[in-house]
Copies of this chain bind each other. A is one copy, B any other.
Amino acid sequence: MSKELRWGFLGAGGIAPTVATDFQIAGLKIQAVATRDLARTNAFADKFGIPNRHENYATLVADPEVDIVYVSTTQNFHERDALLVIEAGKHLLMEKPFTLNAKQAIAIQEAAKHKGVFVMEAMWTRFLPTMVEVFKVLSQGDIGKPRIVYGDHSQYLPVTKAPRLSDPELGGGALLDLGIYPISLAVRVLGLPKAVTGKATLSDRGVDEITSMIFEYEDGSHAILETSMVTAGPVSATIHGTKGRIEIERSFYEQVPFTVFDVDNNVLLRYEEKIEGRGMQYQAIHVEECINSGFKESPIMSLSETVAIMKVMDDIRSQTGVKYPNE
């Protein structure tokens, strides 16, 4: 029987309560937590019944009752926090965006290899039942060869709603926080592009409010992707192939229905499955399976793919002039 892992939560940012709730739904064991503030740590621990409460990140990663650390600090701290976890010999699941840039991601990849720990970007979407089914449809060839991935992730997140995203010091902008989802989908479906074009509209503070992207592939396929934090877009994605298409409904990166059509617009399949919680538990279940199988990387969200995606985002930012002060 496989060993149950004991999770430590490093940071308890915006997404952490949702993750903790989903972990509880799946019966995963949250053993410890540390935030920057003990009162906040205790409040979070009380809410989720977490036994070990730490005054700082250093004691959390040193906790012998912690096997794997889930990091949900802001991305400007991801490299620092990841290296802290890895140096302590703990496995790591880290919120997206993985880092600010590829250089930081490579530093983490190298440290992980050196210490022999498992590290994964928390691209939870890939592990949702609906997305597993999308890739089953693709692998069966139901839509033929995929030629175009078309996806939008535009959410209205002005400074009053999400101050973090407006702040260049915190690695703000639409691309890293929202754009990562359609980018990750495109790379999972079509692989790594041979060329990337990005155009952006920047805020007064120099982060991207809108980024439009075209990815070109060796075989002539395209991905055409949109992200914005100043508008609410369709937030849908379509994969068109030579024999049909898959339309994933609004909030395509969540557990939502999808429909498969042939090229004559006949419905081949409509898939809809309700799950408990938001679905952030599936990635963690996968992580536990990987670690119990002795894997150092996920076959579905590998570190090398994370690094490659960070390079794509570096490329886009270099074309659009988004540079963070602390990179």
Contact = CB atoms under 8 A, between A and B. Distances in A.
A225 to B, nearest CB: 8
B240 A231 contact: yes
Interface in A227-244: 228, 230-234, 236, 238, 240-242, 244
B240 A224 contact: no
25 contacts: A147-B228, A147-B230, A147-B231, A148-B231, A148-B233, A150-B233, A156-B263, A195-B199, A197-B197, A197-B214, A199-B216, A201-B220, A209-B220, A210-B220, A210-B221, A210-B222, A212-B214, A224-B226, A231-B242, A232-B245, A232-B263, A233-B238, A233-B245, A234-B238, A250-B265
Contacts of A224: 212, 224, 226
Contacts of A222: 199, 201, 210, 212, 226
Q: Contact size class for A?
A: 35 or more
Given A147-B210, A148-B228, A156-B264, 17 more contacts: A148-B210, A148-B212, A148-B231, A150-B226, A150-B234, A156-B263, A197-B197, A199-B222, A210-B221, A224-B224, A230-B242, A231-B245, A232-B244, A233-B238, A233-B240, A234-B238, A234-B247
Interface string A17-48: 00000000000000000000000000000000
A154 interface: yes
Contacts of A236: 234
A265 to B, nearest CB: 6
A94 B101 CA distance: 51
A261 interface: yes
A265 B242 CA distance: 33
Interface string A105-120: 0000000000000000
A201 B148 CA distance: 11
Contacts of A154: 148, 240
A241 B231 CA distance: 6
User: How many of these chains are in the complex?
Assistant: 2
A152 interface: yes
Interface in A167-226: 195, 197, 199, 201, 209-210, 212-214, 216, 220-222, 224, 226
Nearest to A251: B265
Nearest to A161: B263
A310 B183 CA distance: 31
Nearest to A265: B232
A228 B210 CA distance: 24
Nearest to A211: B222
A210 B152 CA distance: 19
A124 B146 CA distance: 32
Contact of A234 (B226, B241, B245): B245
Nearest to A152: B150
Contacts of A263: 156, 231-232
